[in-house]
Amino acid sequence: MSANALALHHGEPPQKSVLKSSLLGGALPEGTNQTRPAKILNFGGISSESIDALRAFFWGRLTVLDALDSGAYLNDLLNDPDSDRERSTVLEELFAPAIGQAYDLVLLWDFAGFFCEANLPWLDTWLDALVTRDGYVHGFLCHNSTRKIERKEWGIHSKSEFSCKPLEGFLAYQHLRNQFSRHIRSFVIEKSVLLKDGRLEVLLKRK
Amino acid sequence: MFFEKKSKSDTRRNDETAAVQQPVVESRSLDISVNRAKKGGQAVIGATVKIKGEVVSDEDIAVEGLIEGSIVLKNNELLVGSSGRVHADVIAKSIKVDGELHGDVEVSDRIVISSSGSMRGNIQAPRVILEDGAKFKGSIDMDEAAPAKAFGVVSNAAPEAKAESAAE
């Protein structure tokens, strides 16, 4: 059992750790190369540390959806054919800060892991609407479906590093690369890197 | 040293609590109830007070009630207390959110969203501090040095502002 898993087990706050990313740096807009303010959409929450890290090199607007806690509920609503009205209210609330905007980079983190395979096309539709023509989507999939993936809270530590903190529980759905690609039809996985915890870090670009 | 600091802070908190519990109704240019702690100090909008409209002040404001509309405190601080709800666009020197703030904010120094605070809206501020557990949904503009980046010009203003906030 890892030190953080032990800490969770004993009810102590888990420690943040820093992970190197080979893909994030290539996707993050960098001020010195920008000719216009860029836009980043973060499906997760945000910390002071991530804001300070972004300020060091990024010029533009960061939009925070803080949507990860609503993922499971949204998946249930998408599976319920009688929830039309409630679903549209939840979606409107969830995506309010981003509606009508297009982003150069979407940070999906583990958001796809809340949705069953049948609902991935719904995610594709939203991503298609939210990403600019040359934009990227960054997120995590799963390399091996037999290994359970712990939930984590992610952040940006530097241009090429994540910060992450373990959360209780496991991802509900572990999508493999091919399975994900079949349903996210507007995008292609341009690069992917296997992480130590069994996640597959992916960078998607428009087809 | 630590105890001195703590006791000062406690005293201030007690003053604020007292102010909230015993609101004094004072008719000013706006039809609002405020308890002015002291001249040039902090005005407390009590827990039972609701204000709709534009609030302009040259002193700090602590909100324990509800304000809807807009708030302009160019050189002062807005404190949204734990029972406070602000549904307004805010211009201020600094903001601390212990309660709920919905609206766009423009801050010349810093905004702090505490662990009990939640905010929805767009933030323009040199420093954004979110404590563990703080809830934020919206946008943060990171364009302090935009003119320099856009035109390759070195701005004098931005570094000075940064140095001030770093010194605090």
Write out pLDDT tens, residues B97-143. 999 999 999 999 999 999 999 999 999 999 999 999 999 999 999 97
Question: Which pLDDT score, from 0 to 100, does residue B29 have?
Answer: 40
Question: Which pLDDT score, from 0 to 100, does residue B8 have?
Answer: 44
Contact B106, B122 (CB under 8 A): no
Of A34, A59, A62, the CB nearest to B140: A62
Hey, are the CB atoms on A60 and B143 less than 8 Å from each other?
A: yes
Q: Is the pLDDT of residue B18 over 50?
A: no
* Three-class secondary structure of residue B130 per DSSP: strand
Question: Which pLDDT score, from 0 to 100, does residue B153 have?
Answer: 41
Distance CA(B58)–CA(B42), nearest Å, equals 9
Cα→Cα distances B51→A58, A95, B46, B61, B63, Å: 38, 29, 11, 13, 10
Q: How far is A93 from chain B (nearest CA, A)?
A: 10
Residue (of B29, B64, B58, B27) closest to B44 by Cα position:
B64
* Three-class secondary structure of residue B96 per DSSP: strand
Question: Which pLDDT score, from 0 to 100, does residue B145 have?
Answer: 53
Question: Which pLDDT score, from 0 to 100, does residue A10 have?
Answer: 58
Of A35, A59, A66, the CB nearest to B143: A59
What B100-108 contacts at long range (C-beta under 8 Å, 24+ apart), as own/partner pairs, is: B103/B70, B108/B74, B108/B161
Rg of chain B (C-alpha set): 17
**Mean pLDDT in residue range A146-170:** 92
**Mean pLDDT in residue range A88-108:** 94
Number of H helices, E strands in chain A: 7, 9
Q: A169 CB contacts (<8 Å, ≥6 apart)?
A: A150, A151
Q: Is the pLDDT of residue B4 over 50?
A: no
**Position with higher pLDDT, A11 vs B69:** B69
Contact A199, A149 (CB under 8 A): yes
With cut-offs at 50, 70 and 90, classify the pLDDT of residue A27: confident
**Mean pLDDT in residue range A42-55:** 94
**Mean pLDDT in residue range A188-203:** 94
Q: Is the pLDDT of residue A92 over 50?
A: yes
Largest CA distance in chain A: 50
Task: Tell me the pLDDT tens digit for each residue of A114-126.
Answer: 999 999 999 999 9
Hey, are the CB atoms on B145 and A59 less than 8 Å from each other?
A: yes
Tell me the chain B residues in contact with residue A37 when contact means C-beta distances shorter than 8 Å: 143, 146
Q: B48 CB contacts (<8 Å, ≥6 apart)?
A: B23, B65
Distance CA(A168)–CA(A97), nearest Å, equals 28
| DSSP secondary structure letter of residue B132 | T
Of A34, A55, A64, the CB nearest to B136: A64
Question: Which pLDDT score, from 0 to 100, does residue B137 have?
Answer: 97
Name the burial class of residue A149, with classes exposed (0-12), middle (13-18) and buried (19+) by CB atoms within 10 angstroms of its CB.
Answer: buried
Residue A133, sorted as left (phi over 0), alpha (psi -120 to 50) or beta, turns out to be alpha
Question: Which pLDDT score, from 0 to 100, does residue A26 have?
Answer: 85
**Position with higher pLDDT, A36 vs B146:** A36
| DSSP secondary structure letter of residue B29 | S
With cut-offs at 50, 70 and 90, classify the pLDDT of residue A147: confident
Task: Tell me the pLDDT tens digit for each residue of B87-98.
Answer: 999 999 999 999
Question: Which pLDDT score, from 0 to 100, does residue A8 have?
Answer: 52
Task: Tell me the pLDDT tens digit for each residue of B30-83.
Answer: 434 444 444 457 899 999 999 999 999 999 999 999 999 999 998 999 999 999
Q: Is the pLDDT of residue B155 over 80?
A: no
Hey, are the CB atoms on B137 and A59 less than 8 Å from each other?
A: no
Question: Which pLDDT score, from 0 to 100, does residue A67 have?
Answer: 94
Distance CA(A31)–CA(A29), nearest Å, equals 7
Question: Which pLDDT score, from 0 to 100, does residue B102 have?
Answer: 98
How many C-beta atoms lie closer than 10 Å to residue B134's C-beta? 21
**Position with higher pLDDT, B39 vs A62:** A62
Tell me the chain A residues in contact with residue B146 when contact means C-beta distances shorter than 8 Å: 37, 59
